[in-house]
Amino acid sequence: MTDISIKESRRLLSIVLVVIVSVLIICLSTGNTSTLNTKTDAVYAETGNILYNAGVPKLSSTGGEWVIIGMSRGGYNTGDSYYKDYYENVVNKLTEKNGVLSKRKNTEYSRVIISLTSIGKDVRNVGGYNLLENLADFDKVKLQGINGPIWALIALDCGGYEIPKTEGLSQTTREKLIEYILNSEIKTGGWALGGSVPEADVTSMAITSLAKYYTYSEDVRQAVDRGVETLSKIQNQKGCFTYNKVESCESVAQAVTCLSTLGIDADKDKKFIKNSKSLIDSLLDFYIEGIGFAHTKGGVFSQLATEQAYYSIVAYNRFIQGKTSLFDMTDITAPEVTLPTVFTIPTVPNVTTAGTTVSSTAKTRESVLEHSDTAETKVNISEETLPESSENKTIEKKSVSTAGGNTKNTGIESINVIKANNITESTSKATDASTAEKNSTVKDGLHYTKAATTQPTTATSEITKEKPETNDNNILTIVAGSITGIMVIILAVLITIIIKRKIKK
């Protein structure tokens, strides 16, 4: 062999070795930092395995949809048959029950809608049944109490679904759902299944359902701000939440999910760190190594607590990775689901119910829980509803009469929603030119233009939103990745030099 061919062989060998070693080490390091939060990594991976090894989920509030939501949104590698078998279980159950999952608890339908959407199934044709039709009768939705509207809203919004039209029934609209949730707020802030004491899990679920509408209604914004402040106040000095005076894993899990949906870091936000214990720390305190999560600290394994803790960690990981929130499934592109490309954000009029006076600037809503089912298990599905699709709609400012006969403004004059790729500029005009302001944003691929409000804004506590791109964990991951890359190159060069010397010998 000539000197030239030997040199060329060595050069090619060097290049091949550098590429192979670099790819292998980078792939390994990337896999180890995929969740971007070493605090939860081990527990997250272990819990996923525990839930997966329990078998294929069925249509059920435990051992069912919550597992599917956590697995699918967390990207757990289940294999193709896992979701297929679950879907067949759902179809079989619907067929067995003639499409009626419950006559009272509409959250049964909401939970399944969210779950099937998360795996790319068409909820409008599940074994011949359109599950959305069960959310179209508002009287039926609210029969369950506050849980019904909360989860109906989340379910509708998770896939951007239009609400089927009903005849002779009370038509559900997103506006009605939001109004019901707002009017159910406790006077001092927060929500509960009943009574006047805010409950962490119900408050968290209500906020999760309203999060999508935070910037489009002053009423929603203030209610959410009060809810976040309430959560901070009722969090105990161990960083935990209680239910019936007992620290509860599910309550903490719902709060983590809620804050992650809002863009608040449940591990770093100062409002939710008590005596150096964050909400994430508190959640992990319920973990039993190799077994799962307990409902109470020091308790025994709980299937429901394990499922909710798992999907709350998924929600948190999605937040710090800059992905869509747990229940925002607009990132799913499965062919079975056609997501609307345009939707309108409903205004929220100041509606009053009997015995309740509502003010836009000073909230005095009483808790309104019609037909509250207080005996029901507290943790249910979260159903968000996206506004209905249209090419170009404007919602005009609405006024409604209160119980006292006074007319109140909604606080939003108009919201124009136009396809972002069809326009280069949008403007919004207020009726009072002296107070008009432009407020234009692009979100979820859509262009929103919101007119200035004519109401004064009361001072409310600000929600500090943690942006994923500035998260400390992300910065550390980038630095660690850079150092790893440099070390990979050095290692590859050293290996190449050693091989070259051996070849020379």
Give the separation between CA 43 and CA 290, rounded to whole angstroms.
Answer: 9
Residue 241 within a domain: yes
Query: Angle 218-234/200-210 helices, nearest 10 degrees?
Result: 150
Q: Where are the alpha helices (DSSP H) in 187-344?
A: 200-210, 218-234, 249-262, 279-284, 303-320
Residues 428 and 325 in one domain: no
Last residue of a domain, one of 435, 450, 465: 450
The predicted structure's pLDDT at residue 39: 85
Mean pLDDT of 87-95: 97
For strands 287-288 and 292-293, give the pairing: antiparallel
- Please identify, among 347, 368, 388, the residue that sits at the C-terminal boundary of a domain: 388
Cβ(221)–Cβ(182) below 8 Å: no
Indicate whether 214 and 353 sit together in one domain.
yes
- Residue 260: count other Cβ atoms within 10 Å of its Cβ: 26
pLDDT at 412 over 80: no
**469 assigned to some structural domain:** no
Beta bridge partner(s), residue 110: none
pLDDT over 60 at 124, yes or no:
yes
Of the pLDDT bands very low, low, confident and very high (cuts 50, 70, 90), residue 225 is very high
Q: Please give the residue that has the higher pLDDT: either 243 or 77.
A: 77
Asked if the structure places residue 466 within a domain, the reply is no
Q: Indicate if the pLDDT at residue 467 is higher than 50.
A: no
Q: Give the model's pLDDT for residue 176.
A: 96
Residue 456 resides in a domain: no
pLDDT tens figures, 351-392: 333 333 222 322 222 222 222 333 333 333 333 333 333 333
Name the token pair of 90. Answer: 């759902």
Q: In 10 A of CB 102, how many CB atoms?
A: 12
Residues 109 and 200 in one domain: yes
Residue 437 lies in a domain: yes
Does residue 444 share a domain with residue 416?
yes
pLDDT band at residue 423 using 50, 70 and 90 as cut-offs = very low
Helix count (H) and strand count (E) of the chain?
Answer: 14, 10
383: left (phi over 0), alpha (psi -120 to 50) or beta: beta
Residues 173 and 276 placed together within one structural domain of the fold = yes
Question: Does position 217 have pLDDT exceeding 60, yes or no?
Answer: yes
Do 407 and 261 share a structural domain? no
Q: For residue 400, which phi and psi values (nearest 5 degrees)? A: -130, 155
Residue 26: other Cβ atoms inside 10 A: 14
pLDDT value, residue 447: 29
Residue 436 is predicted with a pLDDT of 35
Instruction: Output the pLDDT for position 357.
Output: 28
- Burial 414-450, CB ≥16 within 10 A → b, else e: bbbbbebeeeeebebebeeeeebeeeeeeebebbbbb
Containing structural domain, residue 435: 393-450
pLDDT given at position 322: 95
Q: Which of 248, 162, 254 is nearest to 203 (CA)?
A: 254
Establish if 295 belongs to a structural domain.
Answer: yes
Please report which confidence band the pLDDT of residue 168 belongs to, taking 50, 70 and 90 as the band edges: confident
- The three-state secondary structure class of 208 is helix
Cβ contacts of 337 within 8 Å, gap of 6 or more: 117, 120, 121, 122, 159
Whether residue 93 has pLDDT greater than 80: yes
β 440-443/446-450 pair status: antiparallel
Residues 169 and 243 reside in one and the same domain: yes
Same domain, residue pair 204 and 271: yes
Q: Which residues contact 142 (CB under 8 A, 6 or more apart)?
A: 148, 149, 180, 370, 371
In angstroms, the CA 123 to CA 161 distance is 9
What is the rounded average pLDDT for all residues in the chain? 73
- Asked whether residue 459 is domain-assigned, the answer is no
Same domain for 419 and 481, yes or no, is no
Mean pLDDT over 426-448 rounds to 33
Percent of the chain with pLDDT over 70: 60
Residue range 490-498: mean pLDDT, rounded: 72
Residues 406 and 292 in one domain: no
Reading the block at residue 348, the tokens are 């929220």
> How far apart are the C-alpha atoms of 467 and 129, rounded to whole Å?
40
Q: What is the pLDDT of residue 339?
A: 42
Of 172-176, 178-182, 221-225, 385-389, which range is least confident? Answer: 385-389
> What pLDDT, on a 0 to 100 scale, did the predictor assign at position 187?
92
pLDDT at 497: 73
In Å, what is the CA distance from 176 to each residue of 124, 141, 170, 182, 288? 22, 11, 10, 10, 42
Task: Examine the domain organization and report whether 9 and 151 are in the same domain.
Answer: no
Residues 444, 346: one domain?
no
- Which DSSP symbol is given to 417? E
3-state secondary structure of 12: helix
Within-domain flag for 461: no
Query: Does residue 247 sit in helix, strand or coil?
Result: strand
pLDDT of residue 31: 39
- Please state the domain count of the chain: 3
- Position 332 confidence tier, pLDDT thresholds 50, 70, 90: confident
Encoded tokens for 146: 């506050």
CATH number at residue 350: 1.50.10.20
Predicted local distance difference test score (pLDDT) of residue 216: 84
